[in-house]
């Protein structure tokens, strides 16, 4: 465990030395994310009801970074950005990046969790937060009066509706009779104001104060709201839970998301620029973005709908088998359930034309290797497949950390170790980090192209298949993590801070 005192020592050393050494910056920042700072803030997540914007104190002027007692970050609860799991862990891309800056500076981080983005902007303008993640826009938007770092992600606002209840609009002109619903978001309103000059009848109404985008999207799914405006990444995440949510079209321009600092906070702003530069160059930023948004949009509407239906109908009878396999293998039972659904749709009588069969769709050779005498018996197939996957994961090089370790193990489970090694070699040749799933999902499909498979050691492979399997399993697993509690904690899995060993 990294204590707060140790975090400060690491942060001071980072600030003095490591931002010039990108590879070490990545290791140390992610170590801190996986250690004491993560524990300090995730075991006791802030309750948004504990401190409103009005109750939050005005921060004293910052004259030197050394005198800064803590970083105060304004944020809002939103899928992918900042949220709390049922087990109490606080996660999200904004959460992790803010803790990274805190570690860089050797400062603890306090999150001021507010109702909506409008309040986040007000917190910055009134001096109640040091910085926040905001859309970067023009003079007519929230950008006026702020200093922005280079963006870490790009988003776009989209019109969303329930495809099973509403007809699909083809343009904003089709929506003049039905007011759009949106959460309180200055950037969103600014874009709609601009579009109103082209569509004079365009109208919108505000969701109740305090309603987040996730709640609004659920109301669209339930039919309480006909048409709404949302951020592309939040809609894509919600579609795993609400498969009838459909995007009609995007509006306005792509929006860069970045950290915003009030004008006058140049000391902290310059430090944030140094941190972001080193973190981006080290590959750490891409890794965090991939962690939260890498599997966005992987599931088709039909896959998501079938999964949600069968989670209610079939999973209750099968979950005791998956839980028993967890105790045997050390793998999260929800991961095993997600893999099983991808393989067989939780049908223990499943048989494919190629001869694989059962709940885990084992080949005859694999079953023989694992000692399975009846592939259609889930009490044999599930624990055997779990042991096999755990063995694959354990045999991967120690330099591959979670969650990449599990995603690469799943790909190996599907396509074999030899082809995964070829994909890793291709990744290194292309200057990619072959220890990450983000690299391998780019190079595995290349094994089906002659110009690549003719030059690798183990030849042709349908490399797109393991990529589809892993991305689908990730999506199913994320749904189960949010809906099926587990008393055990699996560090580094699903979302959350990434754990790395410290550099020597």
Active site residues: 343
Closest CA to 372 of 325, 316, 408, 415: 325
**DSSP per-residue codes, 36-73:** HHHHHHHSSPPPTTT--TTTSPPPPP-S-GGG---EEE
CA distances for 2 relative to 15, 496, 503, angstroms: 18, 17, 15
Give the integer Cα–Cα distance in Å for 94 and 106: 18
Closest CA to 240 of 294, 292, 333, 307: 307
Tokens (6 digits) for 161: 């509706």
Contacts 24+ apart (CB under 8 A), 85-89: 85/481, 85/482, 86/482, 86/485, 87/485, 87/486, 87/489, 88/42, 88/43, 88/44, 88/45, 89/42, 89/43, 89/45, 89/489, 89/496
Contacts 24+ apart (CB under 8 A), 8-13: 8/106, 8/107, 9/106, 10/103, 10/106, 11/102, 11/103, 11/104, 11/105, 11/106, 11/107, 12/106
**DSSP per-residue codes, 295-338:** TTT-S-HHHHHHHHHHHHHTHHHHHHHHHHHHHHH-S-HHHHHH
Largest CA distance in the chain: 72
Closest CA to 113 of 155, 141, 144, 72: 72
Give the integer Cα–Cα distance in Å for 348 and 28: 45
Measured in degrees and rounded to the nearest 5, phi and psi for residue 123 equal -60, -40
Give the integer Cα–Cα distance in Å for 253 and 255: 6
Alpha carbon 145 to its chain's center: 30
Residue 30 and residue 499 in contact, taking contact as beta carbons nearer than 8 Å: yes
Give the integer Cα–Cα distance in Å for 192 and 47: 32
Give the integer Cα–Cα distance in Å for 468 and 376: 24
Give the integer Cα–Cα distance in Å for 238 and 218: 8
């Amino acid at each position: 465990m990294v204590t707060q005192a140790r975090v400060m020592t690491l942060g001071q050393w980072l600030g003095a030395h490591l931002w010039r050494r990108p590879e070490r910056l990545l290791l140390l920042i992610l170590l801190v994310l996986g250690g004491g700072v993560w524990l300090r803030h995730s075991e006791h997540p802030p309750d948004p009801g504990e401190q409103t914007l009005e109750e939050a104190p005005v921060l004293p002027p910052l004259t030197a970074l050394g005198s800064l007692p803590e970083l105060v970050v304004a944020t809002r609860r939103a899928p992918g950005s900042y949220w709390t799991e049922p087990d109490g862990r606080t996660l999200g891309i904004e959460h992790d990046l803010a803790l990274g800056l805190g570690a860089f500076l050797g400062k603890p981080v306090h999150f001021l969790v507010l109702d909506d983005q409008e309040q986040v902007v007000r917190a910055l303008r009134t001096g109640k937060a040091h910085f926040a993640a905001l859309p970067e826009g023009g003079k007519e938007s929230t950008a006026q009066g702020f200093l922005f770092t280079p963006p870490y992600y790009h988003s776009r606002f989209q019109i969303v509706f329930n495809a099973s209840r509403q007809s699909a609009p083809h343009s904003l002109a089709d929506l003049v009779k039905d007011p759009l619903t949106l959460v309180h978001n200055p950037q969103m309103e600014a874009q709609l104001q601009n579009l109103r000059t082209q569509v004079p009848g365009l109208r919108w109404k505000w969701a109740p104060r305090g309603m987040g985008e996730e709640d609004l999207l659920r109301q669209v799914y339930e039919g309480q709201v006909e048409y709404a405006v949302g951020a592309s990444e939040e809609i894509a995440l919600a579609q795993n839970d609400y498969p009838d949510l459909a995007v009609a079209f995007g509006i306005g321009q792509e929006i860069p998301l970045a950290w915003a600092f009030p004008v006058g906070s140049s000391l902290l702003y310059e430090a944030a620029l140094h941190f972001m530069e080193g973190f981006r160059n080290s590959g750490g930023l891409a890794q965090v973005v991939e962690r939260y948004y890498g599997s966005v949009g992987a599931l088709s509407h039909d896959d998501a709908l079938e999964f949600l239906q069968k989670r209610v109908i079939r999973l209750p009878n099968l979950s005791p088998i998956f839980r028993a396999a967890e105790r045997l293998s050390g793998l999260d039972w929800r991961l095993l359930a997600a893999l099983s659904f991808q393989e067989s749709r939780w049908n223990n009588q499943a048989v494919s034309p190629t001869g694989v069969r059962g709940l885990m769709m084992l080949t005859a050779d694999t079953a023989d290797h694992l000692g399975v005498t009846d592939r259609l018996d889930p009490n044999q197939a599930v624990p055997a497949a779990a042991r096999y996957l755990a063995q694959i994961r354990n045999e991967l090089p120690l330099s591959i950390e979670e969650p990449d370790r599990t995603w690469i193990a799943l790909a190996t489970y599907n396509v074999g170790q030899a082809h995964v090694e070829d994909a890793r070699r291709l990744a290194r040749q292309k200057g990619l980090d072959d220890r990450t799933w983000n690299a391998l999902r780019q190079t595995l499909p290349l094994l089906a192209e002659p110009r690549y498979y003719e030059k690798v050691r183990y030849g042709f492979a349908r490399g797109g298949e393991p990529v589809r399997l892993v991305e689908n399993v990730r999506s199913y697993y994320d749904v189960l993590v949010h809906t099926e509690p587990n008393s055990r904690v699996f560090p580094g899995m699903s979302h959350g801070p990434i754990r790395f060993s410290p550099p020597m």
